[in-house]
Amino acid sequence: MMRTTPFHPRLEQLNHAHAWGNWSGYLSALKYDLSSKHEYFSVRNAAGFFDTSPLHKYWLRGPDAERFCSHVFARDVRALRPGRAQYQVWCDDAGFVLEDGVIFRTAADEFFLTAAEPNYGYLTSLARRYELDVVDATEDFASLAVQGPRSRDILRALTPDIDELRYFGLTHTKIGDTEVMVSRTGFSGDLGYELVIPADAALEVLDAIIAAGEPHLLRPYGEEALNMVRIEAGLPLLGKEFTSSRYAYTDAHRFTPDELGLGWLLKGIDDESRPFIGREAILRERATGSSRWRTVGVAIEWRDYYDLFASNGLLAVPDEIPVGWETMLYSAKGKRIGYATSFMYSPYAQRHIGIARVRPKFAEIGTEIQVEQTVNHEYLNVRGHVTGLPFFNPERKVA
């Protein structure tokens, strides 16, 4: 039987499309309106809220918490001060990424981790050598993302404590009588916040946010709109940009941080005082130049896209819903060089864009490529080029 999140009684009332999916065994809204494009524009132009409660949540507590996290996670947590959050990945011994998530340092000896997949067994198996408690708090808390240019104004009406909150900062505050943890994080690429709320007070806090958001055109958004905004933000999604190494059948479905464009997380990897899991394999990859892929952005030349369909007797109808399959990429000479893991028509960029994986020699920004499209039941190519990531990166996100 499918479970429901603490917010579900209210979200069910708001879901006019009655469109639900399965996220880790929980009902999760795919969209609330008949068109998820409306929800997308709400996030981009005003504000939206998204139920992230199915995320797995863990407390990592004890005298060895920092030492444990330094061993397990690829990004160095030692520089993470209490009151700060950090995007993280963790790897297997071969340097392939197991998963990504966000870790919050709530005290010198306490961390809070959120992840899309269950990791309790993995973390507890590694914790046996440490003075540390790993606590699965997934069902203890509901979590909610409030994203968009008006998100600060909405939350400011409920608590003044978010006024000075920096990007990837966190604070403990109250909304009404409920203590909540608020971080300036999110999966939209825009100004936004995420709240961790005791499950038994979730509806009360949500109702307060909805009321405060009414003058700012706040509305809920589902997984379809979430996928649109995160592609424009160039943010990787487990199950799309990469498969967890623990579930992959072959190395063709496993990827290192450098291959995923996440090498920037590994600052200080040469520091031998922190032998995190996968470090030696990643150092070998770098020393031998053996990375198989580079993660880049790709964009189609919009005029060529319309001409491709018109020349085949069709009217091009761009669809903002990301395609559910890999889109093959070719060099200007027709050699296959990679594939787009996520591909869509971007309402913001007014062209088709994608997050892609290409062979390193074709990763330079501006490289001309060919992008495969299906036209009249044939695979035909249209001209595009390699871009940087992200596509959408407003100053207000970090200001």
Tens place of pLDDT per residue across the chain (399 aa):
789 999 999 999 999 999 999 999 999 999 999 999 999 999 999 999 999 999 999 999 999 999 999 999 999 999 999 999 999 999 999 999 999 999 999 999 999 999 999 999 999 999 999 999 999 999 999 999 999 999 999 999 999 999 999 999 999 999 999 999 999 999 999 999 999 999 999 999 999 999 999 999 999 999 999 999 999 999 999 999 999 999 999 999 999 999 999 999 999 999 999 999 999 999 999 999 999 999 999 999 999 999 999 999 999 999 999 999 999 999 999 999 999 999 999 999 999 999 999 999 999 999 999 999 999 999 999 999 999 999 999 999 999
How many CA atoms lie within 13 Å of 138's alpha carbon, on the beta-carbon side? 17
Contacts of 21-29 spanning 24+ positions with Cβ under 8 A: 21/223, 23/54, 23/223, 24/54, 24/56, 24/116, 24/117, 24/118, 25/54, 26/2, 26/53, 26/54, 27/2, 27/3, 28/54, 28/222, 28/223, 29/220, 29/222, 29/223
Model pLDDT, residue 364: 98
What is d(CA 48, CA 40) in angstroms, rounded to the nearest whole number? 8
Position 1 scores a pLDDT of 77
Count the neighbouring beta carbons within 10 Å of the beta carbon of residue 17: 15
SS3 assignment for 289-322: CCCCCEEEEEEECHHHHHHHHHCCCCCCCCCCCC
Measuring CA to CA, which residue among 99, 371, 354 is closest to residue 242?
A: 99
Cα separation values, 53 from 6, 71, 114, 143, 297, Å: 8, 27, 10, 5, 30
Amino acid code (one letter) for 134: V
Enumerate domains of the chain plus CATH numbers.
8-55+139-221 (3.30.1360.120), 294-395 (2.40.30.110)
pTM over 0.85: yes
Over its C-alpha atoms, the chain yields an Rg (Å, rounded) of 22
Contact 181, 170 (CB under 8 A): yes
H or E element that contains 38? helix 36-45
Laid out side by side, the sheet with 97-107 consists of 84-91, 97-107, 110-115, 56-61, 133-136
